[in-house]
């Protein structure tokens, strides 16, 4: 019998969002972030930033939607 009371691969990393301690392991679903909030904050910031800068079109799904909603609203917006 081995005494494995604490997790063998427990690593603490710095949360990219808040800079706090974050458990980097299977028990932390939000790794490398410390919490769901930090993860969402980071993803949100990243997404809005890249959308602003590059205006990168989304894959297939929005392609379909764009084709359906393209007509009038777009041209009237330009005029
Ligand atoms: Zn955090």
Beta bridge partner(s), residue 22: 13
- Give residue 10 CA to ligand 1 midpoint distance, Å: 17
**Mean pLDDT over residues 18-22, rounded?**
96
Top pLDDT among 53 and 58 is at 58
**Mean pLDDT over residues 3-16, rounded?**
76
| Residue spans of beta strands (DSSP E) within the chain | 11-14, 21-24
Cα 70 from Cα 49, distance rounded (Å): 24
Superfamily of domain 11-69, CATH level 4: Erythroid Transcription Factor GATA-1, subunit A (3.30.50.10)
Residues counted in the chain = 79
Top pLDDT among 16 and 75 is at 16
- Give residue 25 CA to ligand 1 midpoint distance, Å: 15
Show me where the domains of the chain are located: 11-69
């Amino acid at each position: 019998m081995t005494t494995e009371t604490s997790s063998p691969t427990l690593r603490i990393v710095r949360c990219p969002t808040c800079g706090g301690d974050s458990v980097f392991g299977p028990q932390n679903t939000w790794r490398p972030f410390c919490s769901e909030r930090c993860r969402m904050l980071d993803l949100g910031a990243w997404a809005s930033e890249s959308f602003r800068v590059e205006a990168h079109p989304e894959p297939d799904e929005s392609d379909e939607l764009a084709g359906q909603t393209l007509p009038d609203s777009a041209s009237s917006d330009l005029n």
